[in-house]
Chain A
Amino acid sequence: MSNVIEIKPLTRVEGHGVARIYLDGKRAERVELALTEPPRLFEALLLGKSFEEVPEIICRICSLCSTIHRVTSLLAVENALGVNVSPVTRLYRELIVNGGHIQSHALHLFCLVLPDYFNVASFAELAIQNPDLLKLGLKIKGVGNLIQETIGGRLIHPVNIIPGGMGKRLNRDELMKLQEALEAILPDTVKAYDLFASFDALGPPLPRSSFMAVQGETATPFFGDRLNLSNGRSVSAANYREVLHETVVRHSNAKQSLFEGEETVVGALARLNVGIKLSSRAGQAFFNAREKLIAADIWSNNLAQAAELILAVELSLEIIATLLNFDKGSDKPVTIARQKGSGSAATEAPRGVLIHSYSFDNRGFCTTADIITPTAINQSAMERDLLALAREMEGADDAELKLKLEMLVRAYDPCISCAVHLVRL
């Protein structure tokens, strides 16, 4: 006789999901992670839209990662149409992506995950029980948002970054304000890292995975043209279709992506394990707690995100220093001719590998769109870990089991709106 334990809805994650554990007697027999987000059909919405509209529409796939979706979409559109943007434009895009990582990681760590370490149900209880810690996180998060709003013109769904360039570049004062704010939170990010390094794992050891991340020879962290795996495999990101296979799963509105038939994990922990280039303080922090991060299970993803908070702040400061040395130059974006073309781009979203790929007809209207999101890639490893954890906890009472399983889902920091999107046309 089988019995089902259902966690509905999964809370403190982005989007709508349900986890079901099917028991045979006491033993967990199988697990379903159902991403029940209403179908978004974004790839279908993009068809027939002009190349200018594509980035403006697709960033609405998800608010938590709207910046990286927008930037990835711009890169894919520009690759498709053979457009080269100026070095200054590239730097602004890198800066806003770092701002996005700061805001997303700080939101996840302090508003969604931290309550678990203090046995409370939400940020609201944390605000009463431990207000200083919540405020520390919100201060860091606020600076990520300041970067996104100053460059993007808006907090969520940035508007100021467009195909070929930017609407308006920042002036010196604005850059220096960002610099000041970033310098102020750098010590806070180190504090945040030490805090997460001081916590024990939230649950028993889980299976280890191969990790995957986007890298490039010369490219800066979070950008690149290759998909590298922790097992040494490396493929060109443009050939992602040869290795990443999507399948429709009956119980979920998202499609699962497997790397050559096997689950692989993406995200902050994957980036550290594949070997993202670290800045000085981030490198030091990583070294100090390396035994918790190297070849670790997913519980360590929270600590890895904290390491990336330091990294993103340091990278942002480097970029601003470079931008302050550039002459202001022309604001005018590159003019783009309407033409036929196909192209893709891969980046590191806060939650891991993100790929956009488009084709346009000779009038610049979108004819195919394909998007692979980190949560779709992580989905099968999440299910594997949920099953392992449920078996490890055999005999635990339902409430305790549900609590731990939810913590496990949260450690992956899933973005369900992103995962339930669209897919290849």
Chain B
Amino acid sequence: MTKPVIAIAGLTACSGCQLTLFNCEEELPQVAERFSFASFPMGLSGGNECAPIDAAFVEGAVSTPEDLETLLNLRNRSRLLVAIGTCALWGGIAAMKNNESRKELAETIYGDSAHSIKTFAPGPLQRFVTVDFSITGCPPEKGELLTTLASLLHGTLPVFPGYPVCTECRNRENLCLLIERNEMCLGPLIQAGCNARCPTVSIKCEGCRGPAAEANVASEMELLLGKGFSRREIASRMRRFYPEWNYEQRY
């Protein structure tokens, strides 16, 4: 059997999704054996910038002309384009202030030199190209990445949960931080698959995996406002990984 050809690239991001592959210490040698890498700048030198690709894994949001060029190049060459991580899928941490002027944000940092910096409001991959499959999370779960790679070897793709973090949290019999401790936990809105990592160590869900299917946003808002949190605080936290919530959404 010929080895599937994959490419891994990062756009505007922290390299955490690519590091997640390196963090599969047990499995990495097998991944190296079973796949052929067309390009993976963080992991290998050389690489081939023209070869066709079976699956391209792209981390990060798109915020510069170079990001877009990399993305279009990979889209054109690949059979499957996989968005890996919250930035690629939802915009992520870089997009949290997309309601403010990108130019002014850049000036805050670079002062008068900001004009020479080419950057636009960070957006998810699907705003620019067709995305065939996504692995969410900041960082993504190792298990979901490995499941995807293993499925590719069998010519298929996995199905990940669309239900919220609360489902997993209840299964783990954690204390409910939202109801019982009155904390601003976003568990009811957020896509599961992390096995409720944070609430399991008594830390409220920060929403790093993005919206669950049919998230009941309006109800969560009412609940949090009722607990005395200000609209500003709630919005600030909710926008951290996904700036486009519909606060009126109800199911």
A residues sitting closer than 8 Å to B (CB atoms) are 9-16, 36, 38-41, 43-45, 47-50, 53, 56-57, 60-64, 66, 103, 107, 111-112, 115, 121-124, 127-128, 131, 134-135, 138-139, 141-142, 145, 153-157, 159-160, 162, 167-168, 248, 250, 253, 331, 406, 417, 421-423, 425
Enumerate 5 A-B pairs (CB-CB under 8 Å) in ascending A order.
Answer: A12-B43, A12-B45, A45-B94, A45-B105, A48-B236
A15-B15 CB under 8 A given contacts A39-B109, A145-B25: yes
- Do residues B108 and A44 form an inter-chain contact, with CB atoms below 8 A? yes
A122's partner among B10, B16, B45, B94 (CB-CB below 8 A) is B45
Q: How far is the CB of A403 from chain B (nearest CB, A)?
A: 8
Known A-B contacts A39-B117, A157-B16; A248 and B110 likewise in contact (beta carbons under 8 Å): yes
Contact in complex: B233, A153 (CB < 8 Å) = no
Contact call B47/A11, Cβ cutoff below 8 A: yes
Q: Select one of A15, A53, A56, A121 contacting B44, CB under 8 A.
A: A121
Q: Determine the distance from Cα of A10 to Cα of B108 in the docked complex, in whole angstroms.
A: 28
Given the known inter-chain contacts A156-B139, A159-B198, please indicate yes or no for A39 contacting B23, CB distance below 8 A.
no
Q: From the candidates B16, B108, B119, name the one contacting A63 in the complex (CB within 8 A).
A: B16
A44 touches B105 (CB 8 A): yes
CB contacts (< 8 Å) of B139 on chain A: these are 63, 154-157
> Are B41 and A122 in contact, with the CB atoms below 8 A?
no
Segment from B60-68, B127-135, B165-173, B215-223 that makes contact with A = B60-68
- When chains A and B are docked, how far (Å) is the Cα of A64 from the Cα of B23? 11
Q: Is A123's CB under 8 angstroms from B28's CB?
A: yes
- Quick one: which of A124, A131, A250, A331 has the most chain B CB within 10 A? A124
Tell me the complex Cα distance, A123–B23, Å: 13
**Pair B32/A128 contact, Cβ less than 8 Å:** yes
> Which residues of chain A are near B206, meaning CB under 8 Å?
56, 159
A394 to B23, CA, bound (A): 40
Contact A12 B109 (CB under 8 A): no
Report the bound CA distance from A397 to B40 in whole Å.
25
Asked whether any CB of chain A lies closer than 8 Å to the CB of B178, the reply is no
**What residues on B are CB-neighbors of A14 within 8 Å?**
15, 42
